[in-house]
A and B are shown apart, each in its own frame.
Chain A
Amino acid sequence: MMELLQTLQQTGLDLFGSAWLLIWTVVKIVLIVAPLMLGVAYLTLAERKVLGFMQIRPGPNRVGYWGLMQPIADGVKLLCKEIIIPTGANKFLFIAAPALALAPALAAWSVIPFDDGLILADVNAGLLFLLAMTSLGVYGIIIAGWASNSKYAFLGALRSAAQIVSYELAMGFALVCVLLAAQSMNLGEIVRGQQSDYGMFGWYWIPLFPMFVVYFIAGVAETNRSPFDMAEGESEIVAGFHVEYSGMGFALFFLAEYANMMLIATLTAVMFLGGWLNPFHGWPLIGALTDAIPGLFWMLGKMSLMLFFFLWFRATFPRYRYDQLMRLGWKVFIPLTLVWVVVVATWMQTPYWFW
């Protein structure tokens, strides 16, 4: 495999010269984005199936076996629909907003390590880059809400902006704990910092358990997912910021939301659940048996687990009220994370820090 890659590199260099680096990077980007988009499509199906089973009904089962072609049918439907631009809407921003929502959600994937060394851009400040990219996603939502020239969309955008800015703080502090523990902002280093002979007990979810919970809940709020989906709030403001969008504009928002969900799930897996590491590594018998499984498998498994939590939340929790949401973010999560930063910092100075 490596030899094949090397010969490919060599021929590429011979053929294209200095432009090869650019071409090769684009190839790598496609290799990340194409499975991601496919994953997003099937995540929507998984969501509907899981919701269906939790509510004792079959879910989509008409298009293809077990409804497996449903996402494709939905995609084709959305592609063919007419795009309607409301009167009085700011045309340029109205069209740019879905792209602004999707682009940061995809850009963030460039620093995610899928396996040891399997990463597009191995940057030192990877964690910081991720925080910056996730914080940019809110522009798509606000601009969409404003450019739509609709009260409902505008209200949804305002709710969402306040919500995302509030939860970003708690998220940032939770990540400060992770980088304290790992002593690095490089995501690969963070995963390697969790390697030990105790398998899953060496991961950061044990010493940073409150942060693990806070990060994931803040992530759910950050992606505007149920039970924090006030920005959509069908019963109050119809569909929130994307109420005026149709066809592909709507589809792009949909893609951005699910790509963001997958991103949060992946980040939780990387930072608290040991990324590509084997959960049984170093355990008697089972450790030796499972060590041969490639890291990508574990990574995808952990992602799927966290994604399942997203769907599970949606099926079981009622929507938060807006003041409760703000209270949770500002009065519960931020003090908790602030205290835990100090706790972790002092804990690491004692001899009882085992991670």
Chain B
Amino acid sequence: MNIETLFYLFAAVTVFAALCVITARNPLHAVLFLVLAFVSSSGIWLLLEAEFLAIALVLVYVGAVMVLFLFVVMMLDINIEQLRVGFLRWLPVGLLLAAVIGVQMVWVLGAPEISAGKTPVVHAADYSNTKELGRLIYTEYVYPFELAAVILLVAMVAAIALTLRRRRDAKRQDISQQVKVKKQDRLRIVSVPSASEAGVAQDVVVSGDHTAD
């Protein structure tokens, strides 16, 4: 099996899965088809010797993002009938967006740098895509990279800040306080005289009672 057959195989699966994402009746199935689309496109990236990107796609999108997606979709009570209302009304907008995306793709893929019949360069076995990517990111593109990282961090902090609210009525435990508890705070040792110290006289009375019974 040569690379081209594999490419068409992965591409067909990707297109099929992407179509199913928008046509599936059950939202959970749609999410799972999206996972399939991600996995098969990571297969295409592997064929391009971009193993870092391919594995990162699986790791980040399939392993983390889609799990959370699935999590949310499972918890939502989605009324599928309601989702289908207004399909025709929004169809022109959707078609317009699709046309824009299509034009953009043709534009990019039709650019002379790409469409000149270039095939990807085949590298030697010791070529490490990961190392090469790291070298580029941290030398040539260090400022854009740092900028993107900071923007993501800001977005993350903002998302947390939006959801953070202190509820007064909620009961919560301060774990550091729990851990700091000393024995003296909880435990009181009371000296109770044991039977042998409490005097023989009582003992005799008790045992005497027993024999009487």
Interface set of A (CB-CB < 8 Å, partner B): 93, 123-125, 128-129, 131-132, 135-136, 138-139, 142-143, 146, 154, 157-158, 161-162, 164-165, 168, 185, 323-324, 327
With an 8 Å Cβ cutoff, the count of chain B residues facing the other chain is: 23
- Contact of B63 (CB < 8 Å), options: A125, A146, A168: A168
Contacts known (A135-B63, A138-B67, A154-B74); A128 close to B35, Cβ less than 8 A: no
Asked if B59 contacts A132 (CB within 8 A), the reply is yes
Residues from chain A with Cβ under 8 Å of B56 in the complex: 128
Q: Which of B137-193 contact A (CB under 8 A)?
A: 173, 175
Roughly how many angstroms separate A161 CA and B72 CA in the complex, as a whole number? Answer: 11
Residues from chain A with Cβ under 8 Å of B58 in the complex: 132, 135-136
Roughly how many angstroms separate A146 CA and B26 CA in the complex, as a whole number? Answer: 13
Asked if A161 contacts B71 (CB within 8 A), the reply is yes
Query: A-B contact count, CB below 8 Å?
Result: 66
Roughly how many angstroms separate A123 CA and B126 CA in the complex, as a whole number? Answer: 10
Asked if B128 contacts A128 (CB within 8 A), the reply is no
Q: Which residue of B lies closest to A146 (CB)?
A: B74
Interface set of B (CB-CB < 8 Å, partner A): 28, 32, 35, 51-52, 55-56, 58-59, 62-64, 67-68, 70-71, 74-75, 128-130, 173, 175
Asked if B71 contacts A142 (CB within 8 A), the reply is yes
Asked if A128 contacts B74 (CB within 8 A), the reply is no
- Contact of A135 (CB < 8 Å), options: B62, B75, B129: B62
Roughly how many angstroms separate A228 CA and B130 CA in the complex, as a whole number? Answer: 34
Asked if A124 contacts B71 (CB within 8 A), the reply is no
Within the complex, the shortest CB–CB distance from B38 to chain A, in Å, comes to 11
Roughly how many angstroms separate A132 CA and B64 CA in the complex, as a whole number? Answer: 10
Asked if B59 contacts A131 (CB within 8 A), the reply is yes
Within the complex, the shortest CB–CB distance from B133 to chain A, in Å, comes to 10
Interface pairs (15), CB distance under 8 Å: A124-B130, A132-B58, A132-B59, A135-B59, A136-B63, A142-B71, A142-B74, A146-B70, A154-B74, A158-B75, A161-B67, A162-B71, A165-B64, A165-B68, A168-B63
Asked if A142 contacts B67 (CB within 8 A), the reply is yes
